[in-house]
Amino acid sequence: MMRIAVGGFQHETNTFAPTKADYAAFEQADSWPALQRGEGLLSAFRGMNVPVAGFIDAASAGNDLVPLVWCSATPSAHVTEDAFERVMAMMLEELGSADSLDAVYLDLHGAMVTEHFDDGEGEILARVRAVIGPRVPLVASLDLHANVTAMMVEHADALIAYRTYPHVDMAETGARAAEHLFRLVKSGAREAKAMRRLDYLIPLTAQCTLIEPAAHIYGLVAETEGRVTGNGRISSVSFTTGFPPVDIPECGPVVVAYGETEAAAEEAVNRIADAAREAEADFRETLWSPSDAVAHAIARSGPGRGPVVLADTQDNPGAGGNGDTVGILAELIAQDAQNACLAVLYDPESAARAAAAGEGATVSLALGAKTGGAPGERPLEGAFEVMRVTDGEFLATGPFYGGSRMSLGTTVRLRNGGVQIVVASRKGQCADKEMIRHTGLDPSGLGILVVKSSVHFRADFGPMASEVLVVESPGPNTADLARLPFTRLRKGLRVTPMGERFGG
């Protein structure tokens, strides 16, 4: 039997976003459970598609799991120093009181930037390593969008990343991390490691593993892991495509591999890095303006075709947006779109007013544009019929959020002409049909659907969509990376595929 400490600290930081993640953001439940400490951590994630759930399921039988702390906050700007230090103090207190540990597992993201550290995860791993010493195996799972750093690779014995975007394999990744950790403990040996950086950033929507070139590259990742070559066995390979709206020197895609020998690990990272470099031109993407996208969707929508889905990627709450910009919504109404819906708009003030008015009432509202996510944008004023009022509590059923008890706070479905809007009191990336269906509307019957999401929506909404358009509407998750005001990237990095190099 092994004694394994289990914890997690998740945040995806967009350094250009308008709102920071304070301690309260980690305390509250949203798309994932609220902050967990102690024994409750081992049961809070049962049945959910999150790494820690997969790890616990894989490691529970025959082992003694020692719970630390787990928390996450909706992607945003920097994690405040206060939040980071308070969470770490709890984690290290629990870790320090745990006797005779055989290993430690952490559920991390990999793109955390705090007010006082560029490399949040590197700092987490370094502090944990300082407590457990050099001999206890330390394994972490990472998001596919991690900006992996040298410090992270140095302090972890293994970093195991997702292989799908939409992230339908999060729990599976936790289970893979458990298997790797078991091997390390049983062998008593450290594996060789290797790391390679790519020299260009990949736009988020182009990182989708359902389409090329990412589909091919991740096929190579899976094929390479477990191979036995003349240099020895390759035990693990991860390709993290990076989270690009992060103005730090170590931003960008990375390949990390572990093997029986240094040569085996080097062989693995070179194979994947070479494939990614050859695919650079294929990572370029097409972006639509709101007016063109709405006009195209109106022309293409019709009964029985499935909705034309417009991805409002720049206001994606899963990438630092606040989910409250109204550029596409204004176009839908201006162009008199019919059988259309936008979800989910974050506006607690309007949700409260509509809920107070009640179902069937018509209420004058100034919707959205209240958080400064799109400077200069004004709320959309108009008369809206209140179609449904809910408490925003429901069980997600799709491949991404599936099994999660979601909490959007007071939520309403409004209508203006042929356009309906799901308005919530808490931010949430629209990546599950239940986020709309719990308000009494079946999204499969829509002609046009606008989602505040970049790619995760494809897991649940993609199969029913007749077409998907990525729209460049105002918001802090800038889709065209060349427009971001980077100042701190490493010299020579291309900000876009095949684009100009940063710093000349």
- 301-354 pLDDT tens trace: 988 899 999 999 999 998 888 999 999 999 999 999 999 999 999 999 999 999
Clarify whether residues 365 and 279 are in a common domain: no
Clarify whether residues 57 and 155 are in a common domain: yes
What is the pLDDT at residue 94? Answer: 97
Cβ atoms within 10 A of the Cβ of 129, count? 17
Residue 380, pLDDT above cutoff 90: yes
Clarify whether residues 377 and 303 are in a common domain: yes
Domain count, the chain: 3
Clarify whether residues 96 and 28 are in a common domain: yes
d(CA 65, CA 8) in angstroms, rounded, equals: 14
Domain membership of residue 467 as a residue range: 290-478
Beta-bridge mates of residue 229: 232
Clarify whether residues 501 and 465 are in a common domain: no
Tell how far CA 248 is from the center of its chain: 19
The 3-state DSSP composition of the chain as helix, strand, coil percent (nearest 5) reads 30, 25, 45
Clarify whether residues 94 and 144 are in a common domain: yes
Give the burial string for 12-43 (b: 16+ CB within 10 Å, else e). Answer: bbbbbbbbbbebebbeebbbbbebbbeeebbe
Residue 437, pLDDT above cutoff 80: yes
What is the pLDDT at residue 373? Answer: 81
Out of 142, 175, 190, pick the residue that ends a domain.
190
Supply 75's token pair. Answer: 């992607």
d(CA 7, CA 403) in angstroms, rounded, equals: 20
Is 441 in contact with 340 (CB distance < 8 Å)? no
Out of 157, 190, 223, pick the residue that ends a domain.
190
Cβ atoms within 10 A of the Cβ of 88, count? 17
Segment 138-152, tens digit of pLDDT: 999 999 999 999 999
Clarify whether residues 224 and 347 are in a common domain: no
Segment 357-376, tens digit of pLDDT: 999 999 999 999 999 888 88
Lowest mean pLDDT among 15-19, 162-166, 232-236, 449-453: 15-19
Out of 125, 159, 190, pick the residue that ends a domain.
190
Segment 98-128, tens digit of pLDDT: 989 999 999 999 999 999 999 999 999 999 9
Lowest mean pLDDT among 12-21, 265-274, 338-347, 488-497: 12-21
Clarify whether residues 180 and 197 are in a common domain: no
Clarify whether residues 436 and 503 are in a common domain: no
Clarify whether residues 63 and 140 are in a common domain: yes
Mean pLDDT of 405-422: 97
Residue 489 corresponds to which amino acid? L
d(CA 373, CA 243) in angstroms, rounded, equals: 19
pLDDT tier at 216 (50, 70, 90 boundaries)? very high
Cβ atoms within 10 A of the Cβ of 234, count? 26
Residue 265 corresponds to which amino acid? A
Q: What is the pTM of this model?
A: 0.90
Average pLDDT, the chain: 96
Clarify whether residues 379 and 443 are in a common domain: yes
What is the pLDDT at residue 476? Answer: 86
d(CA 445, CA 491) in angstroms, rounded, equals: 49
Question: Percent of the chain at pLDDT above 70?
Answer: 100
Lowest mean pLDDT among 240-249, 308-317, 372-381: 372-381
Clarify whether residues 384 and 498 are in a common domain: no
Residue 30, pLDDT above cutoff 90: no
What is the pLDDT at residue 1? Answer: 87
CATH number of the domain enclosing 124: 3.40.50
Segment 75-87, tens digit of pLDDT: 999 999 999 999 9
